[in-house]
Structure 1
């Protein structure tokens, strides 16, 4: 199965978020209410995007680190389908988030940090986490490291073998998706490539075509 395309909406306000999102939304599968947008607008962002696009899967990328049950409950009540946790959150916190997610028929995504532990990942899966993110960090990208290392690529397969849906992200462009050929990627995230494009619709469509080429 080809990966789904997720657009990361990390705009600083709803006005700048909705302009490009409205143009691209037909060609995306998942809308991420990004951390920057949620910090700026609160869970209003999730509520408004849910109201506008009721048929889309919506992630509240709040990167839960503690108070897992409370934060997750607020996100799901606002209309999110998925919530995110940071890899450094305690297993107790992640367990609380998974429990609340089950009550709302939602799902949980954990974003891997710089340090990766297969044993810890297996513990997340045992708790009921369904999604993990393999990320090329924005800070690393800004420092000029644009590569996807062999370890990143192998990690995709390792995590998929554990039973996760694996998401890849980090300044992804259509032209570089070939690096994941043959790998069981479940979701591809694009943010700036769509949201800051001169033509967001064309950019999203180009990404979908690239996904179809790499995962025919």
Structure 2
């Protein structure tokens, strides 16, 4: 792995004004900004456009977890300034292909959200469509039930990397977790509450960057 992972701020606020306060503080200290599913549902797709206005230089993700209406929802996300949009892994290939067509028209990308049941055969089909990114997700409910990262997760991530899929990793990630993923081709580590709800969010972001720089020395 020669490319250093980036740090992504997930904004899963229920109010846009609260999300913008977090962005105001943290945008100089993160590489990617995500309009999370909760924010997009609570504040509408216009939240993506507002974030684009506030952060014109950042990679911006619309985490819509699209399951259907790929063309319509991708048009909504990318016309608001998103660079990437998420599609849930259970979506039909036709939905993924339709979303990807719109994304490419805007010079954007589709990320497959790996949530629930899927197989490596599914992943091969996504790659065949031309999709290059996926998000390996440990959900909030799984975290609350005590689920931790294990060797099975790492083996699966490695298999996805071997298919040419670039991975972003999320799910209660903290700096001490990062050495687990040293042998994985990681595009980004996604942190939400670990940054937004930290006692000192800027210091928390710096701890992430320090760990990334230490582990992925060039």
TM range (shorter): over 0.9
Q: Is the 8 A contact 2:114 2:137 kept in 1?
A: yes
Q: Is the 8 A contact 1:194 1:200 kept in 2?
A: yes
Specify the alignment match of 1:138 in structure 2: 140
Q: CA RMSD in A?
A: 1.0
Specify the alignment match of 1:105 in structure 2: 107
How is 1:51-200 mapped onto 2 (pairs within 5 angstroms)?
Answer: 51-145=53-147, 147-200=148-201
C-alpha distance in structure 2 between counterparts of 1:44 and 1:114, whole Å: 28
Aligned length: 215
Q: Is the 8 A contact 1:101 1:108 kept in 2?
A: yes
The alignment partner of 1:168 has SS state of strand
**TM-score normalised according to structure 2 size:** 0.96
**TM-score normalised according to structure 1 size:** 0.97
Deviations 1:83-114 (A, max 9, x none): 00001000010010111111111100001123
1:17 and 2:37 aligned: no
The alignment partner of 1:126 has SS state of helix
More divergent stretch after superposition (152-161 vs 70-79): 152-161
Q: Is the 8 A contact 1:182 1:215 kept in 2?
A: no
C-alpha distance in structure 2 between counterparts of 1:212 and 1:136, whole Å: 24
Specify the alignment match of 1:42 in structure 2: 44
The alignment partner of 1:60 has SS state of strand
Q: Is the 8 A contact 1:156 1:166 kept in 2?
A: yes
C-alpha distance in structure 1 between counterparts of 2:136 and 2:155, whole Å: 10
Q: Which runs of 5+ in 1 are unaligned?
A: none
C-alpha deviation, 1:116, in angstroms = 2.9
C-alpha deviation, 1:182, in angstroms = 2.1
Specify the alignment match of 2:207 in structure 1: 206
C-alpha distance in structure 2 between counterparts of 1:22 and 1:174, whole Å: 22
C-alpha distance in structure 2 between counterparts of 1:183 and 1:48, whole Å: 33
C-alpha deviation, 1:14, in angstroms = 1.3
C-alpha deviation, 1:20, in angstroms = 2.0
C-alpha deviation, 1:197, in angstroms = 1.1
**Misfit runs of 4+, over 3 Å:** none
C-alpha deviation, 1:210, in angstroms = 0.9
C-alpha deviation, 1:71, in angstroms = 0.4
Deviations 1:115-153 (A, max 9, x none): 2311110111111112101111211111122x1021111
